[in-house]
């Protein structure tokens, strides 16, 4: 599976093509789906442009994307930077009037298992984000079912990011996208290591992702015009 991560914490000050509004997210999601992505991951924003977990903000983004591209799975983040208090994150999930198909939960964040449990209770597939070996240990103590593992390499140096990927994958005892050892795995990086780690995911047969949340640059170092250009490059690199 190739997933498109459309905006993350980026703003139009970072790149003019970053989608922010529900309409912009919907248009970008449709463009990426037409190219062949299997899902999109978005960070909905309120009227001020701030990331938000509020029910109305989540509903507006999901409704717009689903109207533009019916049937395309859509996921959101529950990162602690959006709502620092774990209890408030749980309350937000329980109050959502429109549900995403999946949502990511970073295992290293305080209250992560409770947030995952709230998502599971509502029928939302949980993606557990594993950034470090300590996060793997924390996740392995969870009692909440997980639908997908996100191995997320945050180091900027390519050799470090690739080494981190190998260590985290080994610690989860998973080597393939669909392994009997556990949930499917999606491997990706952010920043300068994005394309090297995407190539590693392709070589291992793992799911991966690409988009303006992770990088603005194409494999040759040129600045991408937008998410569609990044997806096209990822497909050319073998991601499916």
Which residues lie below 8 Å from residue 16, measured CB to CB, with a gap of 6+? none
Residue 149 sits in a domain whose CATH number is: 3.20.20.70
Rounded Cα distance, 73 and 33, in Å = 10
Segment 57-70, tens digit of pLDDT:
999 999 999 999 99
- Write out residues in the chain with pLDDT < 50, as ranges: 175-179
CA dist 70 and 12 (Å) reads 27
Question: What's the pLDDT score for residue 174?
Answer: 54
CB 87 within 8 A of CB 53: no
Q: State the pLDDT at residue 178.
A: 44
pLDDT for residue 177: 45
- Residue ranges making up the domain that contains 124: 2-236
**What is the count of structural domains for the chain?**
1
Q: What is the pLDDT of residue 181?
A: 62
């Amino acid at each position: 599976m190739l997933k498109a991560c459309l905006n993350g914490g980026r703003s139009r000050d970072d790149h003019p093509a970053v989608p922010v509004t529900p309409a912009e997210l919907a248009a970008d999601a449709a463009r990426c789906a037409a190219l062949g992505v299997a899902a999109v991951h978005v960070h909905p924003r309120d009227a001020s442009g701030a990331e938000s977990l509020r029910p109305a903000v989540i509903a507006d983004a999901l409704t717009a994307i689903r109207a533009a591209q019916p049937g395309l799975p859509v996921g959101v983040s529950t990162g602690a930077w959006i709502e620092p208090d774990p209890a408030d994150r749980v309350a937000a999930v329980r109050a959502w009037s429109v549900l995403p198909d999946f949502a990511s939960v970073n295992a290293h964040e305080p209250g992560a298992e409770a947030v995952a449990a709230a998502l599971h209770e509502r029928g939302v597939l949980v993606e557990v984000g594993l950034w470090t070996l300590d996060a793997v240990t924390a996740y392995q103590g969870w009692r909440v079912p997980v639908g997908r593992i996100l191995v997320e390499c945050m180091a900027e140096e390519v050799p470090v990011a690739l080494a981190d990927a190998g260590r985290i994958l080994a610690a989860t005892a998973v080597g393939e996208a669909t392994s009997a050892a556990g949930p499917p795995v999606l491997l990706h990086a952010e920043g300068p290591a994005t394309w090297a780690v995407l190539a590693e995911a392709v070589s291992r047969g793992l799911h991966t992702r690409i988009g303006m949340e992770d990088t603005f640059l194409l494999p040759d170092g040129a600045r991408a015009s937008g998410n569609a250009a990044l997806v096209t490059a990822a497909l050319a690199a073998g991601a499916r």
